[in-house]
Amino acid sequence: MLTGAFGAGAFGSAAPGAAPQRVMVGADVHVASYPTVRAQQWLGEELARRTQGRLSLRLFHSGQLGRESDAVDLARNGVIDLVRVHISVMANAVPATRALALPFAIDSTAHLRRAVDGAPGRGVLESLSARNLVGLAIYDAGARCVYNTRHPVTEPAELVGLKLRVPPSDLFIDMLRGFGANPTPLAYSETYGALQTHLIDGAENNWSSFRSSRHYEVARFWSNTGHSYAPDLLMISARGLSQLAESDQQLLRALATESVSRMRVLWDEQEERARRESLQAGVSENDVDRAAFQRAAQPLLDAQLKNPMIASLWRQIRDLA
């Protein structure tokens, strides 16, 4: 059980008559230099500055609190406060989140940002309340592409027989199976070891994660499928938020929104640098037959759009293309 400053709602000592200090706890699986981590660190610094230290954030990065699914459970149960996870973690339990992760729903980073800043993004954030979580912001997570240890991939047929790591999400399992691969659900933190020991042949992710997790050291073939722009979610425990005064809730929400623009600047810089450094390290990059991958994804898309809520969000997203 998490206790003290390691649990949500931890209060420190304060001078007599002064408001007690509260140290909020956050979790992220990415390393300290990752844009999502740096954006949350900025949020925490601003929270402390604007409340004269009455509120602060202690962020456990690099998976110190376990897998993303573990962190979500801790937040849902009010043990920690903030949690940043990839949207795939919520896709099984909160169907609305799938709309932003559907294959080829998003055409580009600019398109993604229009969608998450508009009605589709608001709808997805609001849907998280069903899981005792409050959506604060949506962060970029780049174009997800396929990479592997064996050979270049230009069309779905060349994925047949390859074991590719996917997030533990039915949507991504079905997506990669539709492409012809053998999807292998693994936690993000377990992927490097699985590549190194040949438990898997490859994975799918963005350039920044590919570089920061050092997957480029063992998987040398990158294929620009761009099959999903599934973003990240920044959430807070509903219990933790309710323990704040209304003015503090408003401040936290405003800072979370403001952190998005800061994260995007960091993201754009790191993504380009990650691509450049990966190629310099010997990774081979190639384009793909995008139409062939879209055809392979169509059965999955058709099945998901039978859900009226997902279909409505998907149409809103496509209208912003």
CATH number of 111's domain? 3.40.190.170
Whether residue 169 contacts residue 204, with contact meaning beta carbons closer than 8 Å, is answered with no
The answer on 295 and 220 residing in a single domain is yes
Q: Does residue 109 share a domain with residue 157?
A: no
Q: Are residues 123 and 267 in the same domain?
A: yes
Give the tens place of pLDDT for each residue, 153-184: 999 999 999 999 999 999 999 999 999 999 99
Residues 201 and 260 reside in one and the same domain? no
User: Are 155 and 258 found together in one domain?
Assistant: no
Tell me, yes or no, whether 292 and 266 share the same domain.
no
Q: Does residue 9 sit within a domain?
A: no
Helices in the chain by DSSP H: which ranges?
35-50, 68-76, 88-91, 109-117, 119-127, 170-178, 191-196, 207-212, 238-242, 246-280, 290-304, 308-319
Q: Are residues 185 and 246 in the same domain?
A: no
pLDDT in the model for residue 9: 53
In a domain, 304, yes or no: yes
Sign of the torsion formed by the C-alpha atoms of 70, 76, 81 and 85: positive
Looking at the structure, tell me whether residues 61 and 159 fall in a common domain.
Answer: no
Number of domains in the chain: 2
The pLDDT, as a whole number, for residue 96 is: 97
Q: Decide if pLDDT at 119 tops 50.
A: yes
pLDDT of amino acid 5 = 44
Q: Using pLDDT thresholds of 50, 70 and 90, give the confidence band for residue 18.
A: low
Is 160 among the domain residues?
Answer: yes
Return the pLDDT at 15.
45
- Asked if residue 6 is part of any domain, the answer here is no
Q: Tell me, yes or no, whether 40 and 59 share the same domain.
A: yes
Contacts of 269 (CB under 8 A, 6+ apart): none
**Considering the domain boundaries, does residue 36 fall inside one?**
yes
- How many Å apart are CA 119 and CA 243, to the nearest integer? 28
Domain limits for position 120: 21-140+230-273
Residue 59 lies in a domain: yes
Q: Are residues 122 and 249 in the same domain?
A: yes
Same domain as 265, residue 135:
yes
| One domain for residues 108 and 171 | no
Could you tell me if residue 2 is inside a domain? no
- Calculate the average pLDDT of the chain: 94
pLDDT over 60 (residue 1) = no
Residue 5 lies in a domain: no
Of the residues 273, 290, 307, which one is the last residue of a structural domain?
Answer: 273
**In the predicted model, is pLDDT for residue 20 greater than 90?**
no
